[in-house]
Amino acid sequence: MSFQAYIDNIKTKTGKSPEDFKKLAEEKGFLVGGAIPKNIKATEITNWLKEEFELGHGHAMAIFATFKGKTE
pTM (two decimals) = 0.91
Using one digit for the tens of pLDDT, what is the confidence trace for 42-57? 999 999 999 999 999 9
The 10s digit of each residue's pLDDT in 16-43 is 999 999 999 999 999 999 999 999 999 9
Cβ pair 56, 1 in contact under 8 A:
no
What confidence tens digit (pLDDT) does each residue in 61-71 have? 999 999 998 87
Roughly what angle, to the nearest 10 degrees, separates helices 42-53 and 18-28? 110
Residue 32, classed as helix, strand or coil, is strand
Closest-CA residue to 13 (of 54, 52, 47): 54
In 3D space, the residue among 57, 52, 56, 58 whose CA is nearest the CA of residue 20 turns out to be 52
Q: C-alpha 18: how far from its chain's center?
A: 7
pLDDT, position 33: 93
